[in-house]
Amino acid sequence: MNSLAQPAKWEKVLWPLLAGAVFLAGWHFSVKYSGSKIFPSPVDVQKGVAELLRKGVLWGYIVDSLRRVGVGFSLAALLGIPAGLILGWYPAAGQVVNPVIQMLRPISPIAWIPLSIVWFGVGDAAAIYLIFLGAFFPIVVASMNGVRNVPSMFRRAGRNFGLKPAQLLAKVVFPAALPQIIMGLRIALGIAWLVVVAAEMIAVDSGLGYLVIDARNSGKRYDLVVAAMLLIGLIGLMLDIAFRRLEKLKSVRWGFRLEA
């Protein structure tokens, strides 16, 4: 049997569903036989989600979190991709700026929470700023490295066809670097989704992160805490799947063929 063979379509659906069923069964029986009075069972969590739906607040929490991530991530992409392309296109500028980027990049966005509250107060602006910080540097680094990794023969070919520097960057270098840029965007989106949960626990009064801390503080509703955690994970999975599909588009795969 060829270990590299691709799984059939039914296998791609069946095995994840089976793994999910095993996880839920293990969770249910662990809670049942442990006699825990604090940690909720899957049925308790399902009832908690139903309660949030009846109250009409669940979708508002989800939309608020997605909105903050959308704004912060979009700002990071709009500024980070051009910055990375320029720094990769001009190596001298990249060498000057790179130490600053590498110094700021490892700082967790969570460490910026006190300053973000001082600068922006408690509200959406502080959370969006933290999301922007979390997503910006991975996008810049991925874009910069993507340009640097484009084979020089592509640049020479473009110049031979009379392309000006701006045209060469837009029509040759950027498409060739696009797969690495998309990968950086995917990583940055995952970080942004992590950051928004932490930011909402402190800096705002809505969203899934706020739901976690509010349910814990208001009557120790651990069924709602776990429900919010599962929703955060499911939405993160869907966002990742969306970017995986984006990587398969022909316009993006062009860059992969160039690298082959």
Please, what sign has the CA dihedral across residues 23, 29, 33, 38? Answer: positive
pLDDT at 252: 60
Return the closest-CA partner of residue 82 out of 131, 157, 126, 146.
146
Crossing angle of helices 113-120 and 174-202, rounded to 10°: 80
pLDDT at 17: 80
In the chain the domains, ranked by start, together with CATH numbers, are 60-259 (1.10.3720.10)
Tokens encoding 53: 């739906």
The answer to whether residues 216 and 209 touch, using CB atoms and an 8 Å cutoff, is no
pLDDT tens string, the chain, 260 residues long: the values are: 455 556 666 667 777 788 888 888 888 888 888 877 788 888 888 888 898 898 888 899 999 999 999 999 999 999 999 999 999 988 888 889 989 988 988 888 888 988 888 898 888 899 999 999 999 999 999 999 988 888 878 777 777 777 787 888 888 888 888 888 998 999 999 999 989 888 888 878 888 988 988 888 877 888 888 999 999 999 999 988 888 887 776 666 555 444 44
The answer to whether residues 133 and 115 touch, using CB atoms and an 8 Å cutoff, is no
pLDDT at 253: 57
The answer to whether residues 66 and 212 touch, using CB atoms and an 8 Å cutoff, is no
pLDDT at 260: 44
pTM: 0.84
pLDDT at 235: 92
